[in-house]
Amino acid sequence: MSLTDVGMTVNGKAMSAAVEPRTLLIHYLRENLGLTGAHIGCDTSHCGACTVDIDGRSVKSCTMFAVQAEGENVLTIEGMAGADGKLHVLQEAFREMHGLQCGYCTPGMIMRAHRLLHENPNPTESEIRIGISGNLCRCTGYQNIVSAIQYAAAKMAGLEVKEAAE
């Protein structure tokens, strides 16, 4: 099948690559753009490890063709830290609260948490758990992921944060 140029803004930069229409967004990001932070964790659109943020929506990039996202604004985990390398508050939170073990689900978790906290800056624990129900983790049992999101929410609200117990 013939290739077509597909362009979109990724982490604030205009990007473009020649792909087939059937190229999934996850493959466009990972293989064409070299942004391997988004992960492929399942075959079935369940796990959410591929989650990115597109124009204010959390999207499973394995379930969208790159052509569908043409001209849109995509945010990936690579775009979360500051230009000087300073961690985004969510990244700091996942570190502080031990919200990861193997790290495979983590980029998807952070991208989803980022949008969740925009939807609801002060979520209850239940709202966090429902809010990340599209993201699966095989390592942590979710408790520290929830704590990390609570930490980030508190910090973003200017509240005092509780550090993780040793």
Q: How far apart (Å, rounded) are the C-alpha atoms in residues 79 and 102?
A: 21
Tell me the C-alpha to C-alpha distance, in Å, between residue 58 and each of 49, 113, 141.
12, 9, 22
One-letter amino acid for residue 94 of the chain: F
Q: Decide: is 36 part of the binding site for other proteins (CB under 8 A).
A: no
Which member of 60, 74, 75, 106 binds other proteins (CB under 8 A)?
60
Contact 2, 15 (CB under 8 A): no
Spell out, one character per residue from 65 to 104, where the chain touches other proteins: x when CB under 8 A holds, - when not. Answer: x-xx------------------------------------
Site for other proteins in 1-20 (CB under 8 A): 1, 4, 20
Q: How far apart (Å, rounded) are the C-alpha atoms in residues 19 and 27?
A: 10
Looking at the Cβ atoms of 37 and 134, the one nearer to other proteins is: 134
Q: How far apart (Å, rounded) are the C-alpha atoms in residues 42 and 46?
A: 7
- Residues of this chain that interact with other proteins (CB under 8 A) are 1, 4, 20-22, 24, 43-46, 48, 51, 57-60, 63-65, 67-68, 112, 115-116, 130-134
